[in-house]
């Protein structure tokens, strides 16, 4: 096991431990608050108030520790990289281990009238799959594991989760940012949380990619765009999730963050082979860098809005602010270099250069015309110096902000890159400065951001994978589902009377249904009803058989007849379950009180399953591409669900005389 894999696993284990401590403190706080409401004894109130103060202090410390873990981005980066600015991944949401066996077996017996113990293997496979989702590998196989479980959940919901009958299964997930537990009995929280983890895993794949190679950068771009697509799908599909990390405002911010990181990787891909020290190339890179800076500025603005700013790690908002300053400063440096290093020559296309320069600004510097700047050497130098001045000031501001965050200060590679960028801009400014120039009040305008390759959300097909229903043996899902109630299977004896069974069959697709039943035929007298579904003929299960296959089983009926097993549809009229209480604790009242009723240390353990270890592929040598003339500063330099069943097509038959012997 590599060091990076150990670090990532250790980080997830620490998150799980802190989540458990947070829920214990919240239980204690809930009990203390209840005691305060129930007592009027001043001495007791004083003691409980002191205890509450202690508990709230512990909660604050725990949440600060969780924020620290969310700021530990270094363990997610590619270990071969020493020259790229770190990216921000999302940590996986934590959940409790689940045991479906008792509830599912009881439901199968009660609702489907089948022996639940005969489905132990299917239930075990389901539990193994969910357990594997708690520790997915950081690659496409991990995405497939999560997507497979996600694709199974609609099938499970149809099979076992009815609006009128609670299953007694509580799904508990922890908020990724606050550690606050959220508990629900339905599958909505489970589905939303798995979808969030698919997006989070894509971000971890993106940060793991080797951004010193073109293929690695392309992998990172695709991963962040897919992460944005998954989170957007989550935002649009699950609009009332009780967990704050999946609230619309938080998801909107996360989508912007992922697209900003994809845009950053697109910029790095353009600069990977080197930036040509040529007028048009430098103007293009200036606008590309400005685009990255603007996208990070939008991310930072959304991070500092209430209530997001109260839950997003300070590390994140500081990183977004640092990158805003860094890339805008790079833009000014590139434009300054284009003006200072290149003079207009007779062989140059003057009109094309004038158009390119004018399109880089909303307003020209100090009322100057683009043509004057290009033609006059001193004008080029003054404007170029103004851009260098803004580049130096921007890099200095980035370094100042960087120093405010203790977690950022731990990232040596980031500090090295910021210092190298500042030193390069300052050196170029000094090279073009003159001793006889005491004042220069020219202010360089903002550079218009523009890109030829805009990062876009990508809807990954990996969230939709083809799966086989674990509980297919229960019968076609269109008929044998939790929302439909059935009688227990009844045995009916079929006998021929004048070579006529007394009813017709239909069932394409499956299962076969009795229709046009003669109420005076022997089968009706024996208990057969119009609309019954045939689930077995003799000892043969026929829930998945079409009419022609059932007819073949019935064609040898003799005078003694044959037994069939049928089920009848019942009316569904059970009362709705009462809503559970909610717990506030200083946050919106969407967190179920049920999650505080269970003690993790005392809860029964589920079936023992084998965890699938994460897979990380390290050992790829770092290839640093040399640039032709200019380069970016580095620290080294300075899926488908089961198809829905179509309505039955009528396949009727009345007399079996010609087909029976």
Token pair of 348, please?
């140059």
pLDDT score at 178: 83
Unique residue bearing structure tokens 């902000």: 401
d(CA 342, CA 277) in angstroms, rounded, equals 9
d(CA 328, CA 443) in angstroms, rounded, equals 15
Token pair of 638, please?
């300075």
d(CA 86, CA 319) in angstroms, rounded, equals 9
- pTM higher than 0.85: no
Sorted by sequence, the CB contacts under 8 Å of residue 617 that are 6+ apart come out as: 139
Unique residue bearing structure tokens 């609006």: 163
* Strand 569-570 with 485-486, pairing: antiparallel
Q: Could you give the C-alpha distances from 303 to 145, 152, 247, 406, in angstroms and in order?
A: 31, 35, 14, 19
The partner residues of 505 in beta bridges, in order of sequence, read: 514
- The secondary element (H helix, E strand) that includes residue 173 is strand 171-174
Smallest Cα–Cα separation from 20: which of 54, 64, 66, 57? 66
Backbone angles phi, psi at 657, to 5 degrees: -60, -45
d(CA 58, CA 54) in angstroms, rounded, equals 6
Give ∠ CA 418-423-429 in degrees, rounded to 5: 130
Contact 56, 134 (CB under 8 A): no
DSSP 447: B
Domain ranges of the chain: 7-72, 275-453, 489-568
Backbone angles phi, psi at 176, to 5 degrees: -65, -30
pLDDT score at 595: 37
Contact 206, 224 (CB under 8 A): yes
pLDDT score at 574: 45
Backbone CA torsion sign across 247, 243, 223, 5? positive
- Which residues, given as ranges, of the chain have pLDDT below 70? 1-12, 15, 63-64, 67-82, 435-440, 462, 497-499, 509, 572-661
Q: What count of residues does the chain have?
A: 661
- The secondary element (H helix, E strand) that includes residue 59 is helix 42-70
d(CA 522, CA 582) in angstroms, rounded, equals 58
pLDDT score at 287: 97
Side-chain half-sphere exposure of 98, counting CA atoms within 13 A: 28
Sorted by sequence, the CB contacts under 8 Å of residue 484 that are 6+ apart come out as: 569, 572
* Strand 540-541 with 562-567, pairing: unpaired
Sorted by sequence, the CB contacts under 8 Å of residue 619 that are 6+ apart come out as: none
Cβ neighbour number for residue 223 with a 10 Å cutoff? 27
The partner residues of 184 in beta bridges, in order of sequence, read: 171
Q: Can you list the alpha helix ranges (DSSP code H) found in 484-585?
A: 522-525, 547-554
The partner residues of 515 in beta bridges, in order of sequence, read: 504
d(CA 655, CA 652) in angstroms, rounded, equals 10
pLDDT score at 272: 92
Contact 489, 503 (CB under 8 A): no
Token pair of 592, please?
């179920």
Contact 373, 339 (CB under 8 A): yes
DSSP 508: B
Contact 508, 476 (CB under 8 A): no
d(CA 86, CA 411) in angstroms, rounded, equals 8
Q: What 3-state DSSP class applies to 7?
A: helix
- Return the beta strands (E) in 558-647 as ranges: 562-567, 569-570, 582-583, 591-592
d(CA 120, CA 126) in angstroms, rounded, equals 10
Q: What 3-state DSSP class applies to 82?
A: coil
Smallest Cα–Cα separation from 86: which of 75, 94, 95? 75
d(CA 397, CA 394) in angstroms, rounded, equals 5
DSSP 575: P
The partner residues of 497 in beta bridges, in order of sequence, read: 500
Unique residue bearing structure tokens 């026929």: 542
d(CA 109, CA 98) in angstroms, rounded, equals 20
* Strand 562-567 with 533-537, pairing: antiparallel
Q: Which CATH number fits domain 489-568: 3.40.190.10, 3.30.300.30, 2.30.42.10, 3.40.50.1220?
A: 2.30.42.10
Q: Can you list the alpha helix ranges (DSSP code H) found in 172-247?
A: 188-208, 214-237
Contact 533, 570 (CB under 8 A): no
Contact 622, 628 (CB under 8 A): no
Contact 28, 62 (CB under 8 A): no
The radius of gyration of the chain from alpha carbons, rounded to an integer in Å, stands at: 33
Q: What 3-state DSSP class applies to 537?
A: strand
Token pair of 335, please?
């434009």
Token pair of 653, please?
């038959």
Smallest Cα–Cα separation from 468: which of 130, 190, 148, 121? 148
Unique residue bearing structure tokens 């939790």: 482
Token pair of 82, please?
């020493």
Smallest Cα–Cα separation from 257: which of 185, 316, 329? 316
């Amino acid at each position: 096991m590599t060091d990076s894999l150990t670090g990532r696993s250790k980080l997830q284990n620490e998150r799980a431990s802190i989540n458990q401590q947070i829920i214990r403190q919240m239980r204690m706080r809930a009990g203390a608050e209840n005691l305060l409401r129930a007592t009027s004894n001043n001495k007791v109130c004083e003691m409980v108030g002191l205890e509450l103060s202690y508990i709230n202090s512990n909660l604050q410390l725990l949440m600060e520790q969780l924020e620290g873990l969310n700021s530990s981005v270094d363990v997610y980066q590619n270990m071969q990289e020493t020259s790229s600015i770190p990216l921000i991944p999302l940590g996986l949401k934590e959940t409790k281990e689940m045991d479906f066996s008792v509830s599912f077996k009881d439901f199968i017996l009660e609702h489907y009238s089948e022996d639940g113990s005969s489905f132990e293997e299917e239930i075990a496979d389901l539990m193994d799959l969910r357990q594997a989702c708690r520790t997915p590998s950081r690659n496409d196989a991990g995405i497939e594991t999560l997507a497979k479980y996600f694709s199974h959940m609609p099938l499970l919901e149809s099979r076992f989760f009815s609006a009128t009958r609670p299953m007694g299964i509580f799904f508990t997930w922890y908020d990724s940012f606050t550690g606050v537990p959220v508990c629900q009995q339905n599958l909505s929280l489970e589905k939303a949380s798995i979808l969030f983890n698919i997006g989070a895993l894509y971000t971890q794949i993106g940060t793991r990619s080797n951004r010193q190679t073109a293929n690695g950068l392309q992998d990172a771009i695709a991963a962040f765009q897919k992460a944005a697509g998954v989170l957007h799908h989550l935002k649009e599909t699950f609009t009332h999730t009780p967990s704050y990390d999946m609230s619309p405002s938080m998801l909107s911010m996360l989508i912007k963050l992922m697209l900003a990181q994809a845009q950053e990787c697109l910029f790095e891909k353009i600069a990977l082979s080197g930036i040509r020290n040529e007028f048009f190339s430098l103007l293009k890179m200036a606008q590309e860098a400005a685009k990255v800076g603007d996208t990070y500025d939008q991310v930072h603005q959304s991070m500092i809005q209430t209530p997001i700013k109260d839950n997003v790690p300070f590390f994140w908002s500081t990183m977004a602010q640092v990158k805003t300053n860094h890339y805008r400063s790079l833009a000014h440096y590139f434009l300054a270099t284009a003006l200072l290093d290149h003079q207009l020559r007779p062989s140059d296309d003057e009109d094309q250069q004038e158009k390119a320069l004018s399109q880089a600004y909303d307003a020209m510097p100090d009322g100057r015309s683009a043509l004057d700047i290009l033609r006059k050497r001193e004008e080029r130098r003054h404007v170029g110096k103004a851009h260098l001045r803004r580049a130096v000031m921007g890099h200095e501001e980035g370094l100042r902000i960087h120093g405010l965050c203790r977690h950022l200060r731990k990232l040596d590679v980031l500090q090295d890159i910021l210092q190298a960028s500042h030193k390069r801009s300052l050196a170029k400014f000094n090279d073009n400065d003159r001793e006889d120039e005491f004042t220069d009040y020219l202010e360089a305008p903002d550079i218009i951001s523009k890109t030829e390759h805009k990062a876009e959300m990508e809807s990954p097909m990996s969230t939709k994978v083809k799966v086989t229903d674990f509980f297919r043996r229960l019968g076609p899902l269109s008929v044998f589902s939790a929302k439909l109630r059935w009688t227990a299977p009844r045995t009916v004896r079929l006998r021929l009377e004048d070579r006529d069974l007394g009813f017709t069959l239909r069932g394409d697709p499956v299962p076969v249904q009795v229709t046009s039943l003669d109420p005076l035929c022997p089968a009706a007298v024996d208990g057969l009803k119009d609309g019954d579904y045939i689930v077995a003929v003799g000892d043969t299960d026929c829930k998945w058989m079409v009419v022609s296959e059932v007819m073949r089983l019935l064609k040898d009926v003799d005078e003694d007849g044959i037994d069939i097993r049928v089920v009848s549809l019942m009316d569904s009229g059970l009362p709705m379950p009462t809503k559970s209480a909610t717990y506030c604790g200083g946050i919106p009242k969407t967190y179920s009180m049920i999650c505080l009723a269970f003690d993790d240390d005392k809860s029964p353990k589920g079936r023992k399953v084998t965890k699938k270890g994460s897979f990380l592929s390290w050992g790829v040598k770092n290839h640093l591409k040399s640039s032709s003339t200019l380069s970016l500063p580095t620290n080294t330099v300075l899926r488908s669900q089961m198809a829905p069943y179509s309505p039955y097509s009528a396949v009727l038959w009345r007399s079996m005389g010609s087909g029976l012997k």
